[in-house]
Amino acid sequence: MKIVLIGAGNVATHIGKALFNEGHKIEQIFSRTMKSALELASKFNTSFTTDIKTITDNGDIYIIAISDIAIPSIIQAFPHKDKLLIHTAGSVDISVFERVCKAIWGNVSTTDFL
Q: Are 98 and 78 in contact (CB under 8 A)?
A: no
Q: Percentage of the chain surpassing pLDDT 70?
A: 78
Q: What is the pTM of this model?
A: 0.84
Mean pLDDT to the nearest integer, 50-59: 96
| Alpha-carbon gap, residue 60 to 57, rounded angstroms | 8
Domains of the chain: total: 1
Q: How far apart are CA 104 and CA 40, in angstroms?
A: 24
Checking if the pLDDT of 83 tops 50, the result is yes
The domain in which residue 93 lies consists of 2-113
Q: The domain that contains 38 carries what CATH number? A: 3.40.50.720
